[in-house]
Structure 1
Amino acid sequence: MTPTEIAAKLHLLATRHHASDATLLAGRLLLSLIFLHEGVTLATHFDGAAKAMAALGVGLPLFVATIALQLGAGLSVATGLLTRLGAIGLGLFCLATATLFHTNFASQNELLHFEKDLAIAGGMFVLAIAGAGKFSLDRLVAGYLQQRRRDKEMVAALLAAENQMSLGDVRLPV
């Protein structure tokens, strides 16, 4: 598929649906990519990464928690399942990373990483407020739960009607 064809399909999606939902999906995927990539990289190079983190004062339990957060919350944001929670977790993670590891502002590289972490944190907090949008598992789960609630209410109403209409031992079929 060519870039032009991809752009045409995205445009069709945006016009057929709400452009804001397509934009939220693209934003979620772009924001989650860095965490998923980093989490997979740390997990696949576990021993070396654990040693490097230990040199920075990060113990093994915190290192494992970091991998779990990056993968779990990264998937949460990407799929749109518990998006707000995942976004808040990753936003706080970025703030912590910026303030704990990137404060040597004499280094242009460290300053850039500090600013990048702050920008990603801001994006995550905006996502936490906006929510995942229509193209998300959050929406599918909410729709499923709403339908279950309606089904339970209907069954309760039918049972109540049946009880009101019963004549002695004879009951009307439901």
Structure 2
Amino acid sequence: MNLVNIISNNDSLSNTASLLGRIGLSVIFILAGLNKIQYFDGNAQYLASGGLPEFLLPLVIVFELIGGLFILAGALTQLTALAFAGFCVVSALLFHNNLADQMQFFMFFKNIAMAGGFLALASAGAGRFSVDYKLANAK
């Protein structure tokens, strides 16, 4: 058994891991988008606290919901994952930059870790259980 490529040498494991990874990366944004709808005013104030105009909140909601669903479905995965990687880094820099505060420290690096996950997803692609795979292999 080759322990270096234990997942990538097994198509079933690789495609299942990709699907589970997409679920994990997408669910936080889908839930965040729904939260922003439910608590719109509070989230608009939070956006303004980061120096951004409140009118951007509907765009953020659409990005999180639609982008999250795209990642979940594996649709336009590489492009969407790159957009989310950038979104995570910008969010970390704007909203979690007080690294002296322990919670903000963890939130900052959570965002950086998610950006890394999205870059890995962009590099590897969505796998077999995805819209991208179906479109690429349509005859």
Same fold by TM (over 0.5)? yes
Residue 134 (structure 1) aligned to one of 122, 128, 131: 128
Q: What is the Cα deviation at residue 72 of structure 1?
A: 1.4
Alignment-derived partner of residue 111 in structure 1: 105
Alignment-derived partner of residue 72 in structure 2: 78
Residue 21 (structure 2) aligned to one of 14, 23, 27: 27
Q: What is the Cα deviation at residue 62 of structure 1?
A: 1.9
Q: How many equivalent residue pairs?
A: 130
3-state DSSP class of the match of 2:137? helix
Larger CA Rg, structure 1 vs 2: 1
The sequence identity of aligned pairs, in percent, is 38
Alignment-derived partner of residue 38 in structure 1: 32
Tell me the amino acid that sits aligned with residue 127 of structure 2: G
CA distance in 1 between counterparts of 2:115 and 2:76 reads 17
Q: Which region of structure 1 is more displaced relative to structure 2, 99-108 or 50-59?
A: 50-59
- RMSD (Å), alpha carbons: 1.6
Instruction: Compute the TM-score of the two structures, normalised by the length of structure 2.
Output: 0.86
3-state DSSP class of the match of 1:18? helix
Whether 2:66 is the aligned partner of 1:66: answer no
Tell me the amino acid that sits aligned with residue 38 of structure 1: A
Describe the superposition over 1:116-157 as per-residue Cα deviations: whole angstroms up to 9, x where unpaired: 00000000000000000000011112222xx1xxxxxxxxxx
User: Would you say the 8 A contact 2:33–2:62 is kept in 1?
Assistant: yes
Instruction: Compute the TM-score of the two structures, normalised by the length of structure 1.
Output: 0.70
User: Would you say the 8 A contact 2:50–2:94 is kept in 1?
Assistant: no
Whether 2:95 is the aligned partner of 1:101: answer yes
Tell me the amino acid that sits aligned with residue 113 of structure 1: M
Q: What is the Cα deviation at residue 17 of structure 1?
A: 5.5
